[in-house]
Amino acid sequence: MPEGGARDALIIGAGHNGLVCAAYLAEAGLEVTVLERRAVVGGAAVTEEFHPGFRNSVASYTVSLLNPKIIRDLELGRHGLRVVERRLANFLPLGEGYLKVGAGRTQEEVAKFSTRDAARLAAYSEHLEKIADVLRELVLETPPNVTEGGWLEAFPELLRSARLGKRLARLDMAGRRELLDLFVKSAGDYLDGWFESVPIKAAYGFDGIVGNYASPYSPGSAYVLLHHVFGEVNGHKGAWGHAMGGMGAITQAMARSAAERGVEIRLESAVREVIVEQGRAVGVITEHGETVRARCVVSNLNPKLLYGSLIDPSALVQDFRERMQRWRCGSGTFRMNVALAELPDFTVLPGRTTAEHHTAGIIMAPSLAYMDQAYLDAKAGGWSKRPIIEMLIPSTLDESLAPPGRHVASLFCQHVAPVLPNGASWDDHREEVADLMIDLVTSHAPNFKASVLGRQILSPLDLERTFGLIGGDISHGVLSLDQLFSARPMLGYGNYRGPLKGLYMCGSGTHPGGGVTGAPGHNAAREILADFRRRRLDRGRSKGS
């Protein structure tokens, strides 16, 4: 049993989910400490100066999935968070011409390529929205857990399953077919079924491969597309926006909210080991050699990192250990931040003063076939010869990020191999691939290369070293059917608990997965508080939890 003086909860990692979990636990009266390895909170949702005078969201770069309930409960607005919408959602420079996607604009833009497709857009959105609504309802739910115990353990899970079944039963047969399509099909097959013109399929198909090391024709990529549309900005469903001050403004607001509720956050305090006594997690040892004991330990880390690196293997049964080793991670993502002397001047839409397309997510990938080839190249040689890039220039919406007249851009580049073939190291190829990315943007905007004043390069290996994202995986594990919902991170442990008593998971490796949602942190806190109430977690004091 934990000894006196122990904290109620100790959270490993101050990523946004760790902070959300901490805030909810503290709100319920628990004494909570968060230990973070880096010198800044936020994990992959962080704003940093990457070049003198230039700040950016250096990893995740755009907001939509952050759950409105969490924004309200943590009072993130009062703690300084303000999210603004882009003036245009997406801009795709094509070989000839361009496509703009955005509220009230898409139909007339798509009609340039196909009047049939333009006429089908409303029905497409309606179908997708119907399924996205189902997902939205499930995001803050704990998935039914597959149990091995007797009916006492199984009964609550059966009730959960019945509630889920009831929700799905609200879908008519067409809706159920759509749901099946979106969970198992490829994004490419799904979109080919709807549209005939190439650019709109590229615009929507990008969501199926973003952060997903796969071809748009890989089965399961339609789910990834769906995963990227369940969010909203200021009540506008499916929209993506910008957090003023960058993604770090979200996590700074969360940290303030948590601190106000009494959470202690310690930076530069990496955890080296979780202490397990008689099958129960009772605290941690930090890299500095300090022991911190707690009634429960909550991990914000990729589950493979938690169970593979922080826990004595003898504390875990072999089957669990081996399955965790097989947890699939790796995003195919290469991330750059660039300081710019001026805005890119696109051949297909000239201009160096801020226009709506400069505020958009600029997708440089003109077709699904191009994306498929990018994946095949990366599989064969380690990176795409013609990569896929989404460029965002947040300084067009937020002057706080760059000196007057200058700009910052995020380049979210796909596809690269999470681990290079033939034993090659990203340390030897980082600059070469960064040059390729700059050249690709320059092929669309000829002034781009000369305008670069500074650049930060994050290969998959750098993302792993800096943020603890294994293989650069932006979601702490691939979003595939075998790694979702009750199976995230493993069948039998889909309810934020693991095989060791007192050890919980609250990061993106749990339901509903990656993205700056706050949902895993929110849901994990609910389960932990339920265990405190059921006295599964010993508590010396009698604060109302």
Ligand X SMILES: Cc1cc2nc3c(=O)[nH]c(=O)nc-3n(C[C@H](O)[C@H](O)[C@H](O)COP(=O)(O)OP(=O)(O)OC[C@H]3O[C@@H](n4cnc5c(N)ncnc54)[C@H](O)[C@@H]3O)c2cc1C
Nearest to 38 by CA among 16, 14, 19, 61: 14
H-assigned helices in 360-407: 368-381
Q: How far is the CB of 543 from ligand X (least distance, A)?
A: 26
Told to check if 271 binds ligand X by CB under 6 A, we report: yes
Task: Find out whether 440 and 364 touch, Cβ atoms under 8 Å.
Answer: yes
| Cβ nearer to ligand X, comparing 245 with 468 | 468
Q: How far is the CB of 206 from ligand X (least distance, A)?
A: 12
Q: How far is the CB of 440 from ligand X (least distance, A)?
A: 17
Told to check if 371 binds ligand X by CB under 6 A, we report: no
What torsion, rounded to 10 degrees, do the Cα atoms 257, 259, 264, 269 define?
60
**Contacts (CB under 6 A) with ligand X, residues 40-59:** 43-45, 59
Told to check if 512 binds ligand X by CB under 6 A, we report: no
Interacting span for ligand X (CB under 6 A) from 92-100, 352-360, 377-385, 513-521: 513-521
| Cβ nearer to ligand X, comparing 145 with 510 | 510
* Residue 523 CB-half CA count within 13 A: 27
Q: How far is the CB of 540 from ligand X (least distance, A)?
A: 26
CA pair distance 181, 190, nearest whole angstrom = 7
Nearest to 203 by CA among 368, 314, 60, 353: 368
Told to check if 249 binds ligand X by CB under 6 A, we report: no
CA pair distance 165, 143, nearest whole angstrom = 12
Q: How far is the CB of 391 from ligand X (least distance, A)?
A: 12
> What's the residue count for the chain?
545
Task: Find out whether 322 and 393 touch, Cβ atoms under 8 Å.
Answer: no
Distance from chain centroid for Cα 133: 19
State how far the alpha carbon of 263 is from the alpha carbons of 4, 157, 254, 257, in Å.
19, 32, 11, 9
Q: Which of 10, 25, 28, 65 binds ligand X (CB under 6 A)?
A: 65
Let me know how many helices (H) and strands (E) the chain has, helices first: 17, 20
Told to check if 389 binds ligand X by CB under 6 A, we report: no
Task: Find out whether 538 and 295 touch, Cβ atoms under 8 Å.
Answer: yes
Q: How far is the CB of 177 from ligand X (least distance, A)?
A: 29
| Cβ nearer to ligand X, comparing 200 with 271 | 271
Maximum pairwise Cα distance, the chain? 71
| Cβ nearer to ligand X, comparing 185 with 511 | 511
Residue 34: strand pairing partners: 11, 265
CA pair distance 485, 497, nearest whole angstrom = 14
Q: Which of 134, 249, 516, 519 binds ligand X (CB under 6 A)?
A: 516
Q: How far is the CB of 83 from ligand X (least distance, A)?
A: 12
Q: How far is the CB of 308 from ligand X (least distance, A)?
A: 12
Binding mask 14-43 toward ligand X (x if CB under 6 A, else -) reads xxxxx----------------xxxx----x
CA pair distance 22, 32, nearest whole angstrom = 6
Q: How many residues bind ligand X (CB under 6 A)?
A: 38
Interacting span for ligand X (CB under 6 A) from 7-15, 70-78, 400-408, 495-503: 7-15
Binding mask 412-431 toward ligand X (x if CB under 6 A, else -) reads x-------------------
| Cβ nearer to ligand X, comparing 329 with 371 | 329
Told to check if 366 binds ligand X by CB under 6 A, we report: no
Task: Find out whether 420 and 429 touch, Cβ atoms under 8 Å.
Answer: yes
- List all residues 6 or more positions away from 78 whose beta carbon is below 8 Å from its beta carbon: none
Q: How far is the CB of 16 from ligand X (least distance, A)?
A: 5
**Contacts (CB under 6 A) with ligand X, residues 295-334:** 300-301, 333
Nearest to 497 by CA among 530, 474, 473: 530
Told to check if 101 binds ligand X by CB under 6 A, we report: no
Told to check if 294 binds ligand X by CB under 6 A, we report: no
Task: Give the interface with ligand X as residue ranges (CB under 6 A).
Answer: 12-18, 35-38, 43-45, 59-62, 65, 270-271, 300-301, 333, 335, 412, 463, 467-469, 474-476, 507-508, 514-516
